[in-house]
Structure 1
Amino acid sequence: MAGRRDMGSWLDGPGGSRTPVDDGADHAGARFGRPAQGAGSVASFGRRVVGLLVDWLLCVLIAQGLLSSVGRPDLMALVVLVTEHVLLVGTLGMTVGHRVAGIRVETLDGRPPGPARALVRALLLVLVVPPLFTDRDNRGLHDRAAGTLVVRAA
């Protein structure tokens, strides 16, 4: 009998689950050739939340401390968060929060995402909803749209 894993999901995007390799392994990231544990394995939801919280706190402090005269600190914190993601994720593959949480953002072939993918990912991230809807590889809608994967750095 065919099941959900056989049919894919709307989260799998165009082409369903046929695009990545599916070798029958059942851990997150297996179809992308990622190990089950250790460096390069898909980061857990908890690590991702820790990274985002650290980044958000830093962005709020920057917005309140340095940019409060420019505009509303809450909106400026979002601008700082998007800027941080575009600059740091786009070039290094990780933000300060990602570094603290021991994770990094990569394209599906293991490279840093670059500024364009980082911008797409950051703009969807600030909507809050996309990271909450993940697929079997713990990829939120923002990661799927940008063609990225969050993995453990060590």
Structure 2
Amino acid sequence: MVDRKDIGSWLTGPDTSGISKYPGERLGLPEAGPGSIARAGRRIVAIVIDWGIALLISNFAFAGDSWGTLAIFAVEQILLVGTLGYSIGHRIAGIHVVKLGGGTAGPLAGLVRALLLCLVIPAVIFDPDQRGLHDRAMDTVLIRR
């Protein structure tokens, strides 16, 4: 005969003991405020601003060619994130890119992140800490300023 103990495990739900309470907890980052993980809203605002800037420049330089817009977007990301740790959109949204241990992302991280970001898929696939594949590849994190 089937006993309630036999089916009780699925009735109580999955084991959540290893899941963090908020994005960034496993990385040692605060839950809110400066240094916390940048949430989706800020990220979306930043990328829309950066894409808009690239589109404006592309309209004048390449007559709105979509590949030209993508190239300008990539160059902006490579140069600004690689040197300053933030793009124009990041700066306006109050976020920036840092290495997980601290410090600026660096030129290589700017290059790899930009190339993967231009593929779109790495940016929309993310882990529980809201780090996209492009951030995981370079061991970076997008945090609030």
TM-score w.r.t. length of structure 1: 0.80
1:38 — aligned with what?
A: 33
Task: Kindly indicate whether residue 46 of structure 2 is the aligned counterpart of residue 54 of structure 1.
Answer: no
Of 52, 57, 70, which residue of structure 2 is paired with 1:78?
A: 70
Q: Secondary structure of the equivalent of 1:104?
A: strand
- In structure 2, the CA distance between the partners of 1:59 and 1:5, relative to structure 1 (3 Å rule), is farther
Q: Secondary structure of the equivalent of 1:151?
A: strand
Displacement of 1:5 after TM fit?
7.2
1:138 — aligned with what?
A: 130
User: Equivalents in 2 of 1:5, 1:121: separation in Å?
Assistant: 32
CA-atom RMSD in angstroms: 1.9
Q: How many pairs were matched up? A: 133
Q: Secondary structure of the equivalent of 1:136?
A: coil
Worse-matched range after superposition: 24-33 or 142-151: 24-33
Which runs of 5 or more residues in structure 2 are unaligned?
1-8
User: Equivalents in 2 of 1:149, 1:125: separation in Å?
Assistant: 14
Of 5, 17, 24, which residue of structure 2 is paired with 1:29?
A: 24
Tell me which amino acid in the other structure corresponds to 2:96. R
2:62 — aligned with what?
A: 68
User: Equivalents in 1 of 2:143, 2:46: separation in Å?
Assistant: 12
Displacement of 1:4 after TM fit?
7.4
Task: Kindly indicate whether residue 114 of structure 2 is the aligned counterpart of residue 122 of structure 1.
Answer: yes
Give the 4+ runs in structure 1 shifted more than 2 A: 1-6
Displacement of 1:68 after TM fit?
1.4
User: Equivalents in 2 of 1:58, 1:152: separation in Å?
Assistant: 22
Identity %: 43
Computing the radius of gyration from Cα coordinates, the structure with the larger value is: 2
TM-score w.r.t. length of structure 2: 0.84
Displacement of 1:77 after TM fit?
1.0
Displacement of 1:131 after TM fit?
1.0
Q: Secondary structure of the equivalent of 1:86?
A: helix
Displacement of 1:110 after TM fit?
1.8
- In structure 2, the CA distance between the partners of 1:5 and 1:133, relative to structure 1 (3 Å rule), is farther
Q: Secondary structure of the equivalent of 2:98?
A: strand
Displacement of 1:56 after TM fit?
0.2
